Amino acid sequence: MNANRQAIANTKNGKLEGYIENDLFVFKGIPYAAQPVGDLRWMPPRPVKKWSGIRPAKEYGAISPQNPMPVQAPGMPDFSKELQDEGCLFLNIWTPGLDDARRPVIFWIHGGAFIIGAGTEPFLEGGKLVKRGDIVLVSINYRMGAFGFMNLKEITGGKIPANGNEGLLDQIAALEWVQDNIAAFGGNPDNVTVGGFSAGGMSIGDLLSMPLARGKFHKAINRSGSTNTVTTLDNAREMSEQFLKILNINRKDITALRALKTQQLLDAQALLGAVLREAKGALTPFMPVIDGHVIPDFPIEEIKKGSAKNVTVMAGNTLDELKISTGMDPAMRNLDDVGLLERLGRLLQADLVPKVVKVYREALKKRGSSGNPLDVMGTVSTDLMFRIPTIRLVEAQRDIGMPSYNYYFTYKSPAMGGILGAMHGLDNPLLFGQLDADFTGVGTEVENLALKIQDSCIAFVRTGDPSCKTIGKWPVYGKDRMTMIFDNNTRVEAAPYEAERRVWDGYDFKNTLPL
């Protein structure tokens, strides 16, 4: 640590003291809103009160309460040992300088199916992307699960006004904090890029459609998450009713609701999640809600109408987003064609199922797969949940005249003999420069791939165009569907995996429950 410089920044709420590490100024556990505890549970975020003196900002703040995932996938961060508390509205900053350089800002939103995760993901540590790009990185916590995405307004007659989008309102409050304060950390409030993975990318899909978010960011990087993970008001009401039934609480008993302990809410959420997985095969009971106000309509419909007409978008996916999740599901181990058709029949209109299976099986065989039911299910699920909604987002921005960029990450993890493929989240350590022998692999090829991902991201954050020296020209998606393929042989392809994409023509992707 360099003792010759002070890591002290002056925000509108008061002074903060961080620390210096790897020639970067690091600030952790900064409150960006009043903590939503006591009477503020389920309320929209409120401003932080000013403090006197210098507030320490050297340790992460508490993260949103969460249950562990039913299955811990390889490479997934483990948050079980971190401090959890409903008072979790903190952000973290890595910056090369506390000066007036007005560096571009990446505002990172973590993933986790809206029920797990935190802005303390291990791959953020070290600041390699920050140093390479001379940029400022901000990561945030936000309320999740029953704390941030449960609609109670409908069933309590407004006595608890939670619309089910409090977690998104937290994100907007953090963006407002950045607008007000990031200049004190060497950042440029007029050049903010929201970036996020999985539920973080899905959150960005919502932010692109939300009136309250307009003007608070300028570019967006959706990584493995689009606009489709939202639920209707009727479904949100049903989830809330089931939740209160598990807790044996009358909807009119507001006092009892407010008196619930954090663990009681987590336990009820786990029970409801288990019921939902059994009945519908879905991952979580809680997600953003189309309430008609915070989220006026299906996000993709709002985006088509121009809600994000001033935002340049870069969005993409990994080849095998759901391969490991499908493979690790005990119910899938003996999947046969009958089971495959039955499962897809729950997700798709009946006349589409045989066509989808035929097209995907043929495509998988051309790639060298056997095309067995498990592979077909995993690949169809990936496209249904991730790839096709991402393409629809890129197309929506293209069609209103905005530059938009698409990528596909096809590099395969060496872990477990390669069976993970290009799994969900494998690209995050490459983006942030945290390679390891087991999960990402090491060596010249993957290191070069990581630099290409980093440099194209840095270029996009700086200028809105991901073209750069290490990757060359990255064309806009356009009518030819130009797509950057990230692999050991990184290249641009026109309309990759086109047979699979075309099978979904005419299919509505307004929303998809998390699989």
Rounded Cα distance, 64 and 116, in Å: 8
CA 145 to chain centre: 14
Angle in degrees, 0-180, between the axes of helices 373-382 and 353-366, rounded to the nearest 10 = 100
Rounded Cα distance, 61 and 55, in Å: 13
CA-based radius of gyration for the chain? 22
Reported as type and span, the H/E element at residue 273 is helix 262-280
| Of the candidates 402, 404, 411, 403, the residue with the CA atom closest to the CA atom of residue 431 | 411
Reported as type and span, the H/E element at residue 326 is helix 323-328
Tokens of 465: 């165009």
Q: How many CB atoms lie within 10 A of CB 122?
A: 13
**Catalytic site residue 240?**
no
Contact between 221 and 195 (Cβ < 8 Å): yes
Catalytic: which of 121, 302, 321, 395? Answer: 321
**Catalytic site residue 198?**
yes
Rounded Cα distance, 306 and 312, in Å: 12
Q: How many CB atoms lie within 10 A of CB 280?
A: 13
Computed from CA positions of residues 91, 454, 73, 367, in that sequence, does the dihedral angle turn out positive or negative? positive
Phi and psi, residue 96, nearest 5°: -75, -20
Catalytic: which of 404, 424, 456, 500? Answer: 424
CA 467 to chain centre: 24
| Of the candidates 407, 488, 484, 503, the residue with the CA atom closest to the CA atom of residue 443 | 488
Rounded Cα distance, 462 and 133, in Å: 9
DSSP one-letter code for 386: I
**Catalytic site residue 110?**
no
Burial of 246 (0-12, 13-18, 19+ CB in 10 A): middle
Rounded Cα distance, 427 and 201, in Å: 14
Catalytic: which of 198, 226, 307, 325? Answer: 198
Reported as type and span, the H/E element at residue 265 is helix 262-280
Q: Catalytic amino acids? A: 198, 321, 424
